[in-house]
Structure 1
Amino acid sequence: MNRYTTPVRLAAALALCLVAAGCSDDKQPGAASDALTVNSPPVVGAAPQLDLLDGKVFPVEAYKLTPEKTRQLNNAQTVLANKCLARFGFPPSLREVPASQPMDASNSRRYGITDGAVAAKYGYHQPGGSDGQTSRPPAEPVTKELSLVLYGAPDPTGTGKQTGTAANGAEIPAGGCMGESKSKLSADAYERVDPGQFASDIELAAGKQADADRRVTGKFAEWSACMKTDGFDYSDPFQPLDGEILKSSLAQPVPSALEIRTAVADVECKQKVNLVGVWFTVEAAYEEKLIEKNQERLADIKKAIDAMLQSAAGVTG
Structure 2
Amino acid sequence: MRKAVIGLLLVSAVLTGCADTEHTSSHTVGLTATEAAPLTDAEQLRISDAQQRLIATCMRRQGFEFWEAERLSLAESRTLGYVLDDIGWARGYGYGSRLRAEDAAARAANPNLAYRKTLSEQRRQAYDKALDGGLDVPVISVEIPGGGTVSKQMGGCVAESEKELYGDPRAWFRAEKTSGHLRSLYVPRVLADQRFSAAQDAWSRCMKKVGYDYKDPGAARQAAIARSDRAAEPKVFEAERKLAVADATCARATDLRRIGEERERHYVAQLRDRYGDALDTYFRLQHQALDRARKIVGPRV
The answer as to 2:191 corresponding to 1:191 is no
Question: 2:244 is matched with which residue: 263, 277, 280?
Answer: 263
> What amino acid does structure 1 have at the position aligned with 2:16?
A
Aligned length: 249
Q: 1:287 to 1:78 in 2, by over 3 A?
A: farther
Partner of 1:4: none
User: Quick check: 1:220 aligned with 2:200?
Assistant: yes
1:95 counterpart residue number: 67
C-alpha distance after superposition, 1:260-308 (max 9, x if no partner)? 4433322222122121222223223433443465222334455555666
Partner of 1:251: 229
Residue number in structure 1 paired with 2:212 = 232
- RMSD between aligned alpha carbons? 4.7
> Which residues of structure 2 form unaligned runs of 5+?
1-12, 28-34, 140-152
Higher normalized helix content (fraction of residues): 2
Q: Write the distance in 2 (CA, Å) between the matches of 1:286 and 1:9.
A: 24
2:85 counterpart (93, 105, 114): 114
Q: Structure 1 9/112 Cα, relative in aligned 2: closer, same or farther at 3 Å? A: farther
1:147 aligns with 2:124: yes
Residue in 2 that maps onto 1:211: 191
Query: % of aligned pairs identical?
Result: 16
Q: 1:127, 1:263 → 2: CA distance?
A: 13
The 1-side partners of 2:15 and 2:99 are apart by: 18
Q: TM-score, normalised by structure 1?
A: 0.58
TM-score normalised by the chain length of structure 2: 0.60
Are the structure 2 counterparts of residues 132 and 271 from structure 1 closer, same or farther at C-alpha, using a change threshold of 3 Å? farther
Task: Tell me the secondary structure at the aligned position of residue 191 of structure 1.
Answer: helix
Q: Which has the larger radius of gyration?
A: 1
Q: Whole-Å Cα distance in 2 between the matches of residues 286 and 131 of structure 1?
A: 36
C-alpha separation in 2, matches of 1:78 and 1:150: 12
> What is the correspondence of 1:31-180 to structure 2 with a 5 Å cutoff?
66-85=44-63, 90=64, 93-97=65-69, 99-102=71-74, 105-107=77-79, 109-129=80-100, 137-138=111-112, 141-142=115-116, 143-144=119-120, 145-152=122-129, 155=135, 159=138, 177-178=156-157
Choose 276-285 or 122-131, whichever is displaced more. Answer: 122-131
* Contact map agreement 1:60 1:199 (CA 8 A) in 2: no
> 5+ residue gaps in structure 1?
1-7, 17-29, 31-35, 44-56, 161-173
Alpha-carbon separation, structure 1, partners of 2:166 and 2:39: 18
